Chains A and B, each alone.
Chain A
Amino acid sequence: MRELKILAIVIFFTLVTYWGVEPYAHSQMHKHVESDNFEYKDLKEVEKGDVAKGKDLVMSNCTACHAIKVANMPAPMDPVTSGSSYGVNPPDLSNMGAILDPKYLAAFIADPATASNVAHKFTPESGRSHPMPGYNWMPKEDIAAMVAYLQSIAPKEITPKEVYVSACGRCHAARYDGKVLGQKWTQIGQKPRFKYEKDSLAFDIKLLEYEDSLKKYMGKLPPDLSIIIRARDEHFLKTFIENPQTQLPGTAMPRVGLSEEGFEKVMQHLEDIGDPSKPTRDSLGVYFLIYMVIFTIFAVLWKKSVWRKLH
């Protein structure tokens, strides 16, 4: 069966080349980073807190900067003004209790810069401090109470997009996230459909002002995440979101503190906006391959019948 031997040789050399040029070469380019599986082993456990006490504390300490939509607390300033005051727009706290790991949430309230691994940006020499003050002067039960309150008010059903907006959306735009390319997710909210060019430009100017503040705060503009799901593999995104310092040491991106469930919803959203054809691709592929197998069977049968008279 000489032809089979030839086929085996061709396949062998093709696979060797593929192995060397893809899995092997990529393993040499990017050293493997272990995933923490969102366990936050470096953070301390949080005790159960008093929800009622937590409510008082949150209302008196947090609402000066943070909106809480589910508790009917509006944002104290519009996003652009917030951005120019703090560098970034403080997030609405409605979802935080559900999408963030409670250990992280407690650690963050106590010391934001350390918990989010950006203390290297806010050294005494830099002359800058984290825009959110730390609450480690509070007793532990008080912080636990605030965490408990935030957990109690978080909605039971949060969509992937809402998680993205809460956890990522104030720094990362997503121009593919919208009904059409113009009505995209921006750091100051979803851009609406404008009838007049002037109104659209006015929105764009506000956005640019916000991005300027953000650039100054972060060092450079955080990238648009529209197609990040195809630009990085899942393992990279997992380890990066868990702790950005493991993949890009010295980066200004904070550790966001998502729980594993929160992370999966963010990944779902990234897939929805960056690779929406994936479900169709996976299912249609099956039909294509079934057809090709049938096609091949007929091709083989016909060839054999034609060559019967030739052999």
Chain B
Amino acid sequence: MAHFSDAKPFSEQWLDERLAVKTLKRVLSQEYWIPKNINFLWAMGMILAVTFGLLLISGIFLLMYYKPDVNLAFDSVNYTIMQEVGYGWLFRHIHGVAASVVFLIIYIHMFTGIYYGSYKKGREMIWISGMLLFVTFSAEAFSGYMLPWGQMSYWAGMVITNLFSLGGLELNGLVEWIRGDYVPGDAFLSRFFMLHVLLMPLIIIGVIVLHFGTLRIPHVNNQEGEEIDFDVEAEKYLSGDTKNAKIIRFQWDFLAKDFMVMAFFLTFFFYLVFYHFDFAMDPVNFDPADGLKTPPHIYPEWYFLWSYEILRPFSKNIGLMAFGFAQVIFMLLPFLDRSPNAKPAHTRGLFKVWFWALLVDMIVLSIMGKVPPEGVFNTIGLVAALTFIGLWIALPFITMAEKKA
């Protein structure tokens, strides 16, 4: 039987007896020890949380006026929200720009993790839950892009659902089942509305909680990959030797740095929202959807381009296999990297080359995914796609050769 005192209701003692708030505070903020040896890249997680918050809140106000009906959707966005609703245009710009910028931050966050080996030695679940977030955010972004029902919404919807025919297997029935119709239409729009507004956000929130949970016990990594004895360092800190301790508190030490990085980010973000947003709100999607007219160039949003390009150079079935490979392979990183070292890439010989090669390759794939598939672009695209596959196949061999540092 728990002990209940005469503490004043809603005082810290009273809440602690009922909800263990003192323990929570200690474990989740005051004594959640973070290494001191970190740089601004460590703030990307907080930036993602803030951006997700911006998307949720701006989304709530868009949801008040959006109409998920093929006859009403386009005008509900481009007239009602953009021209009638008080600051509707601002909520829409915030939502569209945040949806694009979140992927920039996701890629920076991902590649930071790869560079510093933050997916190894106890941190495998952090990496996997993070990759799950990448997948769920991708589904959320794709479903969201359908909603304005512009030309790009329609034709991207058409092309991507066609992928599910699985090439030579010709599963056209499956494609029609996914769409709820022969072509993307009202049924298609409503179900993607459901996914975007309810199901995916719930799943995302759940996986974020998981992601935070997987981080707590292994602790955050640091710039040298040093293995820190958190108990020893905590004693130093708590005894007052904060300058020599190798760790800092989550609240307010780590958060102060997080907020600072976030301030710079938000300044940049709002500049884009007001003055430079065409990259996130493509003009082609300001033409209402027309099933009888394909735009001269169809392309996904920039963050899907590398993946899209892996599909393109090959014949239908091979392309689909390469595409499937690309979606899954990142998930397997903790198990493909056979090296015993959880250290930054610049200390890991060939792995350093592998890292930069992968980054450059994915940028090349992204650019090739956007340009028209003609001439020299086709060749570059093919080489880049083969390089991608080659790099991942090589990874176990490269890392196996690394000696323990």
Contacts and interface: CB of A to CB of B under 8 A. Distances in A.
- Give yes or no for direct A-B contact (beta carbon below 8 Å): yes
Contacts of B302: 17, 21
A296 B262 CA distance: 9
A292 B274 CA distance: 13
A3 B261 CA distance: 12
A10 to B, nearest CB: 6
A243 B262 CA distance: 48
Interface in B292-307: 296-297, 302, 305
Given A292-B267, A302-B259, A25 B79 contact: no
A253 B291 CA distance: 22
B267 A299 contact: no
A23 to B, nearest CB: 10
A233 interface: yes
Identify the 10 closest CB pairs spanning chains A and B, nearest first.
Answer: A285-B274, A20-B367, A231-B286, A299-B263, A25-B370, A296-B263, A277-B89, A292-B267, A306-B256, A303-B260
A33 B302 CA distance: 26
Interface of A: 2-3, 6-7, 10, 13-14, 16-18, 20-22, 24-25, 28-29, 175-176, 181, 223, 226-228, 230-233, 276-277, 280-282, 284-285, 288-289, 292-293, 295-296, 298-300, 302-303, 306-307, 309-311
Contact of A310 (B75, B248, B296, B297): B248
Contacts of A230: 78, 281, 283, 286
Interface stretch (B10-18, B33-41, B54-62): B33-41
Interface of B: 36, 39-41, 75, 78-80, 82-83, 89-90, 93, 104, 108, 242-243, 248, 252-253, 256-257, 259-260, 262-264, 266-267, 270-271, 273-275, 278-279, 281, 283-284, 286-287, 296-297, 302, 305, 359, 363, 366-367, 370-372, 377
Contacts of B366: 17, 20-21
B271 A29 contact: no
Contacts of B274: 281-282, 284-285, 288-289
7 contacts: A7-B40, A20-B370, A176-B75, A228-B286, A299-B260, A302-B256, A302-B260
B363 A16 contact: yes
Interface of chain A: mostly helix, strand, loop or mixed: helix
Contacts of A299: 259-260, 262-263
Contact of B363 (A13, A295, A311): A13
A285 B276 CA distance: 11
B330 to A, nearest CB: 18
Contacts, number: 133
Nearest to B368: A20
A8 to B, nearest CB: 12
Given A20-B366, A21-B302, A307-B256, A231 B243 contact: no
B262 A288 contact: no
B80 to A, nearest CB: 8
A13 B263 contact: no
Nearest to B299: A25
B367 A17 contact: yes
Contacts of B89: 277, 280-281
A298 B256 CA distance: 11
Interface of chain B: mostly helix, strand, loop or mixed: helix
B287 A13 contact: no
Contacts of B296: 29
Given A16-B363, A302-B256, A29 B371 contact: yes
Given A7-B40, A21-B366, A233-B283, A28 B264 contact: no
Nearest to A18: B279
Given A29-B371, A230-B283, A303-B260, A181 B79 contact: yes
Given A16-B363, A277-B89, A309-B243, A303 B270 contact: no
A300 B257 CA distance: 8
B157 to A, nearest CB: 19
Contacts of A181: 75, 79-80
Contacts of A3: 39-40
Given A231-B287, A285-B275, A292-B267, A25 B371 contact: yes
B39 A175 contact: no
B40 A6 contact: yes
B211 to A, nearest CB: 22
B370 A277 contact: no
B264 A303 contact: no
Nearest to A286: B274
Contacts of B259: 299, 302-303
A271 to B, nearest CB: 12
Contacts of A223: 287
A274 B176 CA distance: 35
A181 to B, nearest CB: 6
Given A3-B39, A21-B305, A29 B104 contact: no
A28 B381 CA distance: 15
Nearest to B278: A22
A232 B75 CA distance: 18
A223 B290 CA distance: 11
A127 B281 CA distance: 45
Nearest to A26: B370
B98 to A, nearest CB: 14
A176 B77 CA distance: 12
B83 A277 contact: yes
B346 to A, nearest CB: 11
A295 B283 contact: no
Contacts of A14: 104
